[in-house]
Amino acid sequence: MVLKKLLKVGMAGLISVALLASCGGTDTGETETEKETTAAATTEAAVDETEAEVETSAQDASGGGDLSGKLVASGSTSVQPLMEALAEEFTALNPGVTMEVQAGGSTTGFKNVDSGVTELGNLSRNLKDEEKGDDINEHVLATDGIGVCVNIDNPVKNLTTEQVVGIFTGEITNWSEVGGNDGEIVVIQREAGSGTRGAFEEILDIEDAVKATQDANETGIVKNTVAGNENAIGYISLGSADETVHCVSVDDVEPIESAVLDGSYKLSRPLLTITKGEESELAKAFFEYAASEDAKVVIEEMGFFAPAN
């Protein structure tokens, strides 16, 4: 630890001062060697005591270094990267803890918790009515917003939910049908397995119904393609949106943080982690961390919106 090294350097200076003082002090009958030994032992004890205090303070700051055990989470592929990032930070603060994050989808996450296969279940949607119960505990890790992006020169600035569905399922094929210029719509979607694609299709209930012109295997490709083609349309996490494209309003609601957090923006969804019954101390500690300011930084770096405390 850097702090320990600095302490030892500082204490080494004190040892030197103590030795000089012992050489020039009042004669007590001790030999010079005895004086040096006594001064060094006293100063070394002070170093040890200070190091112990530093270690205790570090453990307190990390949330209590005495935690140990393993947490296993499963479920949504959209939540998986966020959970992995939070798990990495949480286990760094608590070296005795390990976390394993599995995929499988939101429904799998619920089933695994309900049957006791994993303690934590990740969902990228609200619980269904049949999934709710007094023994199911919900924790909102973050809220995700997905922007429907068009070229900045496209005059279309708002689409209804029905129009978004029509465009991405191939029912609407020309921009003139939604108030734009005459031009064939070029639909860009994310690749199969993408968490953003899964969320977009799940929210609009168009799984396996999208008819795209091109698949893109990363957000940057979606943005670059839309930015370079006035007739293109795609979707990206709002955390990745920038001035190269325009994210349209949906049902006259702008895709801004407040609208995402209050749910008025259609293409938003909570990122949940659920448990069943009495939670373990380890799970409680993780959720306490997930609600902290440190976790908020991680959440926002991942492009999501942290829930209000």
44 Cβ contact partners less than 8 Å away, ≥ 6 residues apart: 11, 15
* pLDDT tops 80 at residue 25: no
Reported in sequence order, the residue ranges of the chain that DSSP labels E, i.e. its strands, are: 69-75, 97-104, 120-123, 136-150, 158-159, 186-190, 214-216, 232-237, 246-247, 249-250, 268-276
In a domain, 208, yes or no: yes
In a domain, 9, yes or no: no
In a domain, 165, yes or no: yes
Partners of 149 in the β-ladder: 234, 247
Domain range for 197: 145-262
* pLDDT tops 70 at residue 26: no
Whether residues 173 and 197 fall in one domain: yes
* pLDDT tops 90 at residue 54: no
Residue-wise pLDDT tens digits, 220-230: 999 999 999 99
Residue 56: pLDDT band (50, 70, 90) is very low
- Count the alpha carbons within 13 Å of 83 in the hemisphere toward its beta carbon: 28
* pLDDT tops 90 at residue 251: yes
CATH code of the domain covering residue 230: 3.40.190.10
Whether residues 248 and 291 fall in one domain: no
User: What is the value of pTM for the model shown?
Assistant: 0.65
Residue-wise pLDDT tens digits, 256-278: 989 998 889 999 988 999 999 99
- pLDDT > 70 in the chain, percent: 79
Whether residues 173 and 190 fall in one domain: yes
Residue 65: pLDDT band (50, 70, 90) is low
* pLDDT tops 80 at residue 14: no
